[in-house]
Structure 1
Amino acid sequence: MIVDCHVNVYEDEQILPLFTASTPKARPGEFTLKANPDVVYEAMRDVDKAIVFSLRYKDSIGIDGDDEVTARAVAKYPDKLIGFAAVDPRRPDYMDLLVHAIEDLKLKGVKFGPIYNGVSLLDPRLEPVYEYLQRHNLPLTMHMGTTYGRNAPINYGRPLDVDTIAMRYPDLKMVMAHMGHPWYEECIVVARKQPNVYCEVSALYYRPWQFYNILICAQEYLITERDKIFWGTDFPFTQVGESIEGLRRINDQVEGTRLPRVAGETIERIIHSNPLEHWWHGGYPG
Structure 2
Amino acid sequence: MTRYESAIDLDAVEAIDVHVHIEVDGHGHASLPPDLAEAASRYFRTDGVNPDLDSVAEYYRERRMAAVVFTVDALTNLGHEPLSNADIAAGAARNNDVLIPFGSVDPGRPDAVDIARRLVEDSGVRGFKFHPTVQNFDPSDPAHFPLYEVIQDAGVPALFHTGQTGIGAGMRGGRGFRLALSNPMLLDVVAATFPDLQIIMAHPSVPWQDEALSVATHKHNTWIDLSGWSPKYFPAELVRYANSIVKDRVLFGSDFPLLTPDRWMRDAEAVGTFKPEVLPGIMKHNAARLLGLAPEAAS
- Give 1:102's aligned residue: 120
Identical-residue share of aligned pairs (%): 25
- 1:146 is aligned to 164
Call closer, same or farther: CA 1:262–1:107 in 2, change over 3 Å. closer
1:36 is displaced (CA, Å) by 1.4
Residue aligned with 1:248, SS: helix
> Is 1:230–1:270's contact at 8 Å kept on the other side of the alignment?
yes
Contact between 1:166 and 1:172, CA under 8 Å: does it hold in 2?
yes
Instruction: Structure 1: state its 5+ residue gaps.
Output: 252-260
Match of 1:2 among 12, 15, 18: 15
1:4 Cα offset (Å):
0.6
Q: Answer yes or no: is the 8 Å Cα contact 1:140–1:174 preserved in 2.
A: yes
Report how far residue 274 of structure 1 moved. 3.3
Q: Which residue of 1 aligns with 2:55?
A: 39
Question: After the TM superposition, which of the residue ranges 5-14 and 105-114 deviates more from structure 2?
Answer: 5-14
Q: Distance in 1 between matches of 2:97 and 2:245?
A: 34
Q: Equivalent residue for 1:243?
A: 264
Identify the residue that residue 40 of structure 2 maps to in structure 1: 23
Does structure 1 conserve the Cα–Cα contact (< 8 Å) formed by 2:120 and 2:154?
A: no
Scaled by the length of structure 2, the TM-score of the pair is 0.81
Is 1:197 the counterpart of 2:222? The answer is yes
Deviation of 1:14 after TM superposition, in Å, equals 2.2
Aligned match of 2:283: 271
* Counterpart amino acid of residue 274 in structure 1: N
**Is the contact between residue 120 and residue 126 of structure 2 (CA under 8 Å) also seen in structure 1?**
yes
1:81 is the counterpart of 2:99: yes
In the alignment, which of 219, 228, 232 is matched to residue 249 of structure 2? Answer: 228
Instruction: Give 1:138-177 correspondences, 5 Å limit.
Output: 138-148=156-166, 149=168, 150=174, 151-177=176-202
Which structure 2 residue ranges, 5 or more long, are not aligned? 1-13, 169-173
Q: Is the aligned partner of 1:218 residue 2:237? A: no
Aligned partners of 1:216, 1:61: CA distance in 2, in Å? 38
Answer yes or no: is 1:179 the counterpart of 2:196. Answer: no
Give the TM-score normalised by structure 1.
0.85
Aligned match of 1:258? none
Specify whether residues 270 and 37 from structure 1 end up closer, same or farther in structure 2 by C-alpha distance, changes over 3 A only: same
Counterpart code for 1:270? I
Distance verdict in 2 for CA 1:217–1:189, change over 3 Å: farther
Corresponding residue number in structure 2 for 1:90: 108
C-alpha RMSD of matched pairs (Å): 2.6
SS at match of 1:56: coil
The separation in 2 between residues aligned to 1:63 and 1:197, in whole angstroms, is: 30
The CA deviation at 1:221 is 6.4
Q: Deviations over 1:152-189 (max 9, x none)?
A: 21001111111121111111111000032231121112
Q: Matched residues in 1 for 2:101 and 2:297: separation?
A: 12
Contact 1:35/1:235 (CA < 8 Å) preserved in 2? no
**Amino acid paired to 2:178:** P
CA distance in 2, matches of 1:24, 1:14: 13
